[in-house]
Amino acid sequence: ADGKIDSEAWGKLQDKEDVLRTYTITKDDVKGSFPDSIPDDFAAMAKMKALSYTSPAELLSEKFHMDIELLRTLNAKADFGKAGEEILVADIGKPAGKEVNRIEVDKTEAVVRAYSSDDLVAAYPATIGSESTPSPSGIMEVEGVARDPQYNYDPQVLHGKHGDEPLVLPPGPNGPVGTVWIELTKETYGIHGTPTPDAIGREESSGCVRLTNWDAEELADLVKPGTKVAFIED
């Protein structure tokens, strides 16, 4: 409370659990079809079968909530495409397990908070709308959850940002909404994943609420239709 870290505060900050652990790469981790790259152009994306991970290393970095360069640095000699290879990864612990009945989207702090009654279950860094394409205000509800969704580009909604023609982009973690879309009761708005987890909280969205894929997936497991979602700002 006084801003000074004393022995009592240090004691509460001690954590005897390791932040890293070993992991053995599985056949499932490396069996996918990995394109060399994902184009930036939506029309080119629409021609692909899936917007998949571009490498086993990218898949593993998201699986363990890590920046891909950190994963590579910790495992400089590892072959990420080889099943049976043992690597060092972040110990991400257990996912939040309580059902959520209330979500706050804090537009000022760029964070999404999930509550079970008055108990804070989880807090996720988020990318939220800009001045030109603001996120909505007020209270709405979760309408439903779509996992591994395709993306329907509507040039009227996004003011022709990616061309003048409507497009249907295939699903995949490198798609515009990532691996999960949590539909809200306000039309065209949702909480979703992202192909660029390193940009969360550092850029602005087109009005929706953007989380890392792993956070969006966890939140999707905690909500149900009717869960309240309040957009707040100071």
In the set 65, 159, 162, 192, the catalytic residue is 192
192 catalytic? Reply is: yes
Give the model's pLDDT for residue 131: 60
For residue 15, which amino acid is it? D
Give the model's pLDDT for residue 89: 98
Query: Is the predicted pLDDT of residue 159 greater than 80, yes or no?
Result: no
Burial 166-178 (b: 16+ CB within 10 A, else e): ebebbbbbbbbbb
In the set 65, 159, 162, 208, the catalytic residue is 208
Between 59 and 12, whose confidence is greater? 59
Per residue in 175-193, pLDDT tens? 999 999 999 999 889 999 9
Report the phi/psi class of residue 158: left, alpha or beta, with left for phi > 0 and alpha for psi in -120 to 50: alpha
65 catalytic? Reply is: no
Per residue in 61-107, pLDDT tens? 999 999 999 999 999 999 999 999 999 999 998 888 888 999 999 99
**What is the reported pTM?**
0.88
Average pLDDT along the chain:
92
Give the model's pLDDT for residue 74: 97
